[in-house]
Chain A
Amino acid sequence: MAEQSHSLRDLPGRALPGTARKSTSPAGEDTYRKLIYFMPTALVQVDSRAAGAAFDQLRAAGVRDIASYLETHPELVETANDTVLVTDVNREAVSLFNGRNQADLIRPVRYLFAGTPEMARRVMIAHFEGRRNYTEAAKIITFDGQVRDVIFALTYPTPPEQQDITFITISDITERLRTEAQLWQLQADYAHAARISTLGELTTSIAHEVKQPLAAIVTNGETALRWLARDDFDVAKIKQLTSRIVESAYHASDIVQRIRSMALRAAPEKVALDLKAVTAEAITFLRHDIEARKVTLAIDMPQVLPGIIGDRIQLQQVIVNLLLNSIQAIDQAGNNERRIAISVSLLADNRLAFTVHDSGPGINDANLERLFDSFFTTKDGGMGIGLAICRSIVIAHGGEISAANHPAGGAQFRLELPTASIEHFGVR
C-alpha cells in the first residue's frame, strides 16, 4: 500500500470549489449531495492540496522518511493545520462539533485536531506515503469545549480523482466507550468478588506455599546460629546459609505478592502475557491441594507460544477456577485414576486453545447447556458463579470457553484466546 505511487500534481489553475450546493451538478449528483448532507455520520471534505504541494517539494528534495522529517520539522505540521482547508461538511458534522451552521466548520483543519494534536502528523504521514485510507481513534473538542471520543477515517484522493477532495468521516463513539468502560468495570468488580471467594477455598494451599520458605528460613537461620556458636565455624558455610535465607525470603515475598494481587481490586489491564507463566503462577495457588489429594497434573505446552493480550490476574483466576473444579470433580468421582491434563495448542487462526481435561465423572448432559449460567451449580454449598465468571472474563478477552465430556471420560474445558498478533480495533 505504502508503495503505491501517488504523484500529487500541483493544480494551480483550479479554483477551490465552493460548497457543493452552490456548484452546478447533474441532477444525479445533486441527489447524492442531498443524501450525504442528511447522512447520520459526520462527513468532512478537505482540500489538502496545500500539503500535497509541500510534499512534492520534499520529495524533490529527496525526503523519503516523512515521519522523521516531520519529527524534526514540526512547523510543517503547523503550517498544514492553517493552510489545509475544510471545504464542505454535512449536517451531522455541524451537530457533532456543536456549530451553528456549516460556515462555522468551513475553515482551516486545525480545529479537527484540537483534541488529539499529534494526529495531524500521522494524517500527513499517511497522505505522504500514498495510502488510500487512514483510521484512528481520537478525541475532538467541540466548539463549546466538550471532549468527545471519535473514530476518524480518512480517504485520500488517488489520481485521476480530483486532488482537492479528501473525505473524513467522524464517528462519535463517546457513548459506546462509556458503556464499554462501565461493563468492563462491572465485570471487574464481579470477577474480584469471585476471586475473594476462591481464595477462601484455597487458604490451606496458600498457607502451605508460604510456610515452606518460612520453614527453610527459620531452619537455615538457626543452623547459622549453631555454626556461629562453635569455635570451628566456617565463614563460607555462614555465607551459604545466609544467601539461602535471602533466596527463600524473596520466594515467600513473591508468593505473598501473588496472593495480594489476587485479593486486590485493581483495575484490570490489557498487557502482553505469556500463557505458560500465567499457568505456572495459577498452579502455585493449588499445588498443595493437588498433592494432598493425590492428583497427577500433566502439562503439555509447545516450547514457544505467541503472547496473549489480557489481564494477568483475571486469566489466572480462570485457570485456578477450572483446576479447582477439576480437583473437586475428581474427589467426587473417587476413581483410582486421579489425573488432570492441561494442554495448550496454537490454532490456525492465530488463536490459542487451552484445555483442562480431568478424570472426574464428567458433566451430566442435562447440565452442559447451563454450566456457564450464573447461579447454576451442582455442588453442595456452591454459589454457581465460578464458571459464569470464567466465561465473562474469557469473553472480555475476546475469547471463548466451552465444556464437553471427553471421549476417554471426564470433563474437558476449553478456552480459545486470541494471541497478541491479532489486533482488536477499538479496544483500549
Chain B
Amino acid sequence: MPFPPIIAVIEDDEAVRAALSELLEVSSLACRTYDRAEVFLAEFDSERFHCLITDLHLPGISGLELQQKLRAMGSETPIIVITSSGDPASRMRALQEGAFAYLTKPFNDAVLIAHVMAALKVAPESGGSDVGGQS
C-alpha cells in the first residue's frame, strides 16, 4: 500500500465535512473531501484512496448507493458510513452490503480514528464487518 494513506470524506454538511478533515489532519491522516457522491465518482480511482468515510444521506446518490456502485466496480476500499439517523434497518443494510463500520453522529473521535486505522491495516484485502459494531 502506498503511503501516506489518503482518506476520502463524502459529506454534504459543510461544518461536519470541515470538522472531519481537521480531525484526520490532527491524526496525521491525509484526506480529500467531497460534498456529493457524484463528484467523488467522477474522479474516482480505485488506487487512490485507502479508506472512504461517507455520509448516509446525501443529495443525489446516497452513501449506500455509492457503496453498491463501488462494489459493483470491483473496489474493495473499506467504507465507513456515518449518519445522523438512528434507523436500524439502514445500519443492517450498510453492514450487510460490506460497510467496514457504521457510526451514528455525533460520534466519538477515538472510535472513528480507531476504525479508520483498522481499515487502513486491512485495506484493500477485505472488509471486516465484525469491527463495524460501534455506533
Contact = CB atoms under 8 A, between A and B. Distances in A.
A1 interface: no
A292 B57 CA distance: 6
Interface stretch (B17-25, B38-46, B73-81, B126-134): B17-25
B59 interface: yes
Contact of A211 (B20, B105, B109, B110): B105
Chain A contact surface mostly: helix
Nearest to B22: A223
B19 A220 contact: yes
Given A212-B105, A217-B106, A291-B57, A222 B84 contact: no
Interface in A212-257: 212-220, 222-223, 226-227, 230, 241, 244, 247-248, 251
Contacts of B85: 204, 207-208, 288, 292
A34 to B, nearest CB: 76
Interface in B42-89: 57-60, 62, 82, 84-87
Interface string A245-273: 00110010000000000000000000000
Contact of A219 (B12, B19, B57, B59): B19
Contacts of B86: 207
The 3 A-B pairs with the shortest beta carbon distances in the complex, nearest first, are A215-B105, A222-B109, A211-B84
Nearest to A227: B26
B106 A211 contact: yes
B15 A213 contact: yes
Contacts of B107: 215, 218-219
A223 B23 contact: yes
Contacts of A241: 22
Nearest to A216: B15
B106 A218 contact: yes
B13 interface: yes
Count chain A CB atoms within 10 A of each CB in B16, B20, B109 and give the residue with the most: B16
A200 B85 CA distance: 16
12 contacts: A208-B85, A211-B106, A212-B13, A213-B15, A215-B16, A216-B15, A216-B16, A218-B108, A223-B26, A226-B26, A227-B26, A294-B60
A218 B107 CA distance: 8
B66 to A, nearest CB: 13
B102 to A, nearest CB: 14
Nearest to A204: B85
A220 B107 CA distance: 11
Interface in A283-319: 288, 291-292, 294
B57 A244 contact: no
B96 interface: no
Contact of B15 (A247, A288, A291): A247
A232 to B, nearest CB: 11
Contacts of B19: 215-216, 219-220, 223, 244
Count chain B CB atoms within 10 A of each CB in A214, A219, A241, A251 and give the residue with the most: A219
A402 B29 CA distance: 56
Contacts of B87: 204
Contacts of A248: 15
A223 B23 CA distance: 5
Contact of A222 (B12, B23, B58, B60): B23
A208 B109 contact: no
A251 B27 contact: no
Interface in B86-135: 86-87, 105-110
A226 B106 contact: no
A292 B62 CA distance: 8
